Amino acid sequence: MGRRARDIGGRPRAPGDRTPTAARDPDVQSYLATLSAHSPHTQAAYRRDLAKLVAFRARHGMEAWCEVGAQHVRVLIAEEHRGGLNGRSLQRLLSVLRAFFRYLVRGGKATHNPAELVRAPRAPRRLPKALDVDQAARLVEIADGTEEAGIAARDRAILELMYSCGLRVSELVGLDMRDVDLREAQVTVLGKGRKQRKVPVGRHAVRALQHWMRVRPSWTAAETQALFLARRGARLTARAVQQRVRRWAIRQGLDTHVHPHMLRHSFASHVLESCGDLRAVQELLGHADISTTQIYTHLDFQHLARVYDSAHPRAKKR
């Protein structure tokens, strides 16, 4: 079988060995099946991280999950760090390992969680990039006649809704017609962990949606429920939305790379700048933990610092 678990400094197996992969490990597959509520992107990230654990276990000849100890997890993290994985990715890897071993302990496949007390190198906190108010307004102001009428109406509704509500792209493409209440100016969103929330819709987004809904019936059969459609009537994909956002940013003359999540960041930072109510922004974004929302207070401080630097007589550069 190869070296036992205690030989954690051994060399990888020879190329001819049939090292197990995450796809062939039944415990990994049963765990991944529990993640169906997560986005495909998240599921793919978990699969990649667990593949590293499966390969590590095979290299060191461990036959059972209970043989994996904290020292093995530290060696795996060190290997990935030497291989160039940054602190943020290492933290995610550890988070995946902790969740997986919790699952194994509950199922009796492991006796302890070896990743529980292991810490990854601290990652520098990166502030999300956001558009300023003028840039956001320029992006969503799609003039009639700039594209085929139906496409322009759909894309403006997409951009207005994402900026108005701070939606994740997965939440946007998952919307059905029944989720939109234009009379009450709100949408019902299914977020992470299948948690539902209601988000108010601004008047510009309401008008854009009304225009799109007048066009939409010519694109699809009556029984199709998806709010946003591709030209042939199928539900629009997240990838297609990313491409359309990038295309419109270029056409509208924005000199920065714009992606759907940047509209969510812009929504959060602009609302927080205006109201200062962190709890309200947390509810609107659907964050389970307010610490996730607090990053926007740093964006707000940057805005205040710029105002101070430009306005205060003792701060101005001569």
pLDDT score recorded for residue 193: 82
Q: Measured between alpha carbons, how far is 145 from 266 in angstroms, rounded to an integer?
A: 27
* Residue 308, pLDDT above cutoff 60: no
CATH 1.10.150.130 intervals, the chain:
1-124
- What CATH superfamily classification does 1-124 receive? Tyrosine recombinase, N-terminal domain (1.10.150.130)
* Residue 107, pLDDT above cutoff 90: yes
Q: Is 24 a catalytic residue?
A: no
Under 8 Å between Cβ of 131 and 143: no
pLDDT score recorded for residue 129: 85
CATH 1.10.443.10 intervals, the chain:
133-264
Each residue's pLDDT tens digit, 161-220: 999 999 999 999 999 999 999 999 999 999 888 889 999 999 999 999 999 999 999 888
Phi, psi of 39 (to 5 degrees): -70, 155
Locate 47 and state its tokens: 């699969």
pLDDT score recorded for residue 8: 38
Q: What percent of the chain has pLDDT over 90?
A: 53
Q: Is 192 a catalytic residue?
A: yes
* Residue 85, pLDDT above cutoff 50: yes
Quickly name the fold that domain 133-264 has: hpI Integrase; Chain A (1.10.443)
* Residue 149, pLDDT above cutoff 60: yes
Pure H helices in the chain? 26-32, 40-59, 70-82, 87-106, 133-140, 149-165, 169-173, 203-215, 238-251, 260-275, 278-285, 290-293, 295-311
Least confident residue range of 35-39, 43-47, 255-259 = 35-39
Eight-state DSSP code of residue 108: T
Query: Where residue 315 falls among pLDDT bands split at 50, 70, 90?
Result: low
| Cβ-proximal residues to 132 (8 Å cutoff; 6+ apart), any chain | none
* Residue 93, pLDDT above cutoff 60: yes
Each residue's pLDDT tens digit, 3-29: 443 333 433 444 444 445 566 789 999
Pick the residue with more confidence: 145 or 235? Answer: 235
Q: Is 264 a catalytic residue?
A: yes
In the predicted model, what is the mean pLDDT of the chain? Answer: 83
pLDDT score recorded for residue 318: 47
Under 8 Å between Cβ of 60 and 5: yes
Catalytic residue among 6, 74, 102, 192: 192
Q: Is 103 a catalytic residue?
A: no
Each residue's pLDDT tens digit, 230-281: 988 899 999 999 999 999 999 999 988 999 999 999 988 888 777 777 787 7
Catalytic residue among 244, 261, 265, 270: 261
Least confident residue range of 50-54, 141-145, 302-306 = 302-306
* Residue 145, pLDDT above cutoff 80: no
Given the structure tokens 């998240």, which residue do they identify?
A: 42
Q: Residue 235's beta-bridge partner residues?
A: 229
Q: Measured between alpha carbons, how far is 143 from 156 in angstroms, rounded to an integer?
A: 9
Q: Measured between alpha carbons, how far is 2 from 108 in angstroms, rounded to an integer?
A: 25
Q: What are the C-alpha distances in Å from 210 to residues 14, 162, 190, 201?
A: 62, 15, 22, 12
Locate 253 and state its tokens: 């003359």
Q: What are the C-alpha distances in Å from 117 to residues 48, 101, 113?
A: 22, 12, 9
Phi, psi of 235 (to 5 degrees): -60, 135
Q: Measured between alpha carbons, how far is 8 from 71 in angstroms, rounded to an integer?
A: 8
Catalytic residue among 156, 168, 244, 265: 168
